[in-house]
C-alpha cells in the first residue's frame, strides 16, 4: 500500500526520461498565469512538485524568479540550470518557505500527488494576499487518432501493474487525478481559495520512436523492465512505423485552474 514517502520516490529512476521526454506547456498559458503581475519589478513564483523543472524554466523564461520545490533529489538533480530558477528539496505540504512571500504558487502535473487540504493550506500561507494559485494538468487528447492509439497502449500496460497506488489508501493515482480535475472543472471550489477560474489550452509535442518510448518510461505507473516492458516498447515501435507518413505528434489538452487565496 502506497505511503507519502514511497510516492516521493516513484520518479527516482525515471528522472532522466522525465527531463528529456515529457511535454512542455503552451506559451499563452504561461502568460495567462503571469499577466496579473506584469509591470511590477519582480514576480516571485513557488513552483511546487517541480520535478525536473520543465514548468519552472518556462516561468523563468517569462521573467519570473522561481523557487522550484521538489521532494525528490534525483528529479531536482536532473533539471537543467536556469538563472531564474533555484531548487528547494521539500514536500508540498511543508515547503519551509516564508509566509506571504510569493505572487504565484504553481503546480504543473503534480497536485494529484499532494495531500489535498494540507497542501492548499500551505499554498495559502506562502502566497501574498493579492497572489494567485495556478494548478495545471495536461493529458493526452484521445480524440486525435494517433494520440488515442498511443494512450490505449499505455493504458493496457498500466492495467498490468497491480501494485501502483496513490497516496490515498489503495486508490490508483490516475483515478485521484481524474476525480480532482473533474471536481475542480465542475465546481471551481477549493479550500483556502476563492474566485477559481478554469481555462483550457492545447499543446502539440513532436515525437519519434525514441521519444515515444522515453515518454512511456517517464510514467510512474508502468512496469519498466522484463517482458512486459519489452512488449510495450515493441507495440510503440509498431505504432510509430505504421503512422510515419500520417504524423506521430502527441496532442494534449491542458487544463488551468487559477484561484485567489482567502486571507
pLDDT number for residue 38: 95
pLDDT at 71 (0 to 100): 94
Confidence at residue 178, expressed as pLDDT on a 0 to 100 scale: 66
pLDDT for residue 165:
46
Distance from C-alpha of 234 to C-alpha of 130, rounded to nearest angstrom? 51
Residue 167 has pLDDT above 90, yes or no: no
CB 190 within 8 A of CB 120: yes
**What's the per-residue H, E or C state across the chain?**
CCCHHHHHCCCHHHHHHHHHHCCCCCHHHHHHHHHHHCCCCCCEEEEECCCCCHHHHHHHHCCCEEEEECCCHHHHHCCCCCCCEEEECCCCCCCCCCCCCEEEEEEECCHHHCCHHHHHHHHHHHEEEEEEEEEEEEEECCCCHHHHHHHHHHHHHHCCCCCCCCCCCCCCHHHHHHHHHHHHHHHCCECCEEEEEEEEEEEEECCCHHHHHHHHHCCCCCCCCHHHHHHHHHHHHHHHHHHCCCCCCEEEEEEEEEEEECC
Instruction: Provide the grid cell at 174.
Output: 490516475
Q: What is the pLDDT of residue 189?
A: 85
pLDDT average, residue stretch 52-69? 97
| Over residues 233-248, mean pLDDT | 96
Percent share of the chain, pLDDT over 90: 72
Residue 118 has pLDDT above 50, yes or no: yes
Q: Write b or e for each residue in 9-31: b if 16 or more Cβ atoms lie within 10 A of its Cβ, otherwise e.
A: ebbeebbbbbbebbbebbeebbe
pTM (two decimals): 0.87
Residues contacting 21, CB < 8 A, separation 6+: 211, 214, 215, 217, 218
pLDDT band, residue 116 (cuts 50/70/90): confident
Cβ neighbours, 10 Å, residue 153: 17
Q: Tell me what the mean pLDDT of segment 176-195 comes to.
A: 79
Amino acid 170: pLDDT:
42
Across 206-219, average pLDDT: 94
Range from 17-21, 122-126, 193-197 carrying the lowest mean pLDDT: 17-21
Amino acid at each position: 500500500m502506497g505511503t507519502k514517502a514511497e510516492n516521493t520516490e516513484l520518479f527516482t529512476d525515471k528522472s532522466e526520461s522525465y527531463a528529456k521526454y515529457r511535454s512542455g506547456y503552451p506559451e499563452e498559458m504561461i502568460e495567462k498565469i503571469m499577466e496579473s503581475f506584469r509591470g511590477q519589478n519582480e514576480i516571485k513564483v513557488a513552483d511546487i512538485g517541480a520535478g525536473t523543472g520543465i514548468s519552472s524554466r518556462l516561468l523563468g523564461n517569462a521573467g519570473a524568479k522561481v523557487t522550484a520545490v521538489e521532494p525528490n533529489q534525483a528529479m531536482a538533480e536532473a533539471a537543467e540550470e536556469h538563472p531564474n530558477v533555484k531548487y528547494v528539496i521539500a514536500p508540498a505540504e511543508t515547503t519551509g518557505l516564508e509566509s506571504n512571500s510569493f505572487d504565484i504558487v504553481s503546480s504543473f502535473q503534480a497536485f494529484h500527488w499532494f495531500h489535498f487540504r494540507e497542501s492548499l493550506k500551505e499554498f495559502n500561507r506562502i502566497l501574498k494576499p493579492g497572489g494567485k494559485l495556478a494548478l495545471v494538468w495536461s493529458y493526452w487528447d484521445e480524440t486525435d487518432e494517433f494520440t488515442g492509439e498511443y494512450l490505449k497502449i499505455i493504458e493496457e500496460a498500466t492495467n498490468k501493474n497491480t501494485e501502483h497506488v496513490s497516496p490515498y489508501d489503495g486508490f490508483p493515482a490516475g483515478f485521484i487525478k481524474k476525480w480532482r480535475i473533474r471536481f475542480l472543472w465542475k465546481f471551481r471550489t477549493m479550500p483556502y481559495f476563492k474566485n477559481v477560474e478554469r481555462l483550457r489550452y492545447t499543446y502539440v509535442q513532436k515525437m519519434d520512436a525514441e521519444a515515444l518510448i522515453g515518454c512511456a518510461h517517464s510514467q510512474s505507473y508502468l512496469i519498466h523492465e522484463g517482458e512486459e516492458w519489452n512488449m510495450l516498447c515493441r507495440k510503440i515501435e509498431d505504432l510509430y512505423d505504421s503512422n510515419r507518413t500520417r504524423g506521430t505528434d502527441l496532442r494534449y489538452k491542458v487544463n488551468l485552474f487559477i484561484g485567489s487565496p482567502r486571507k
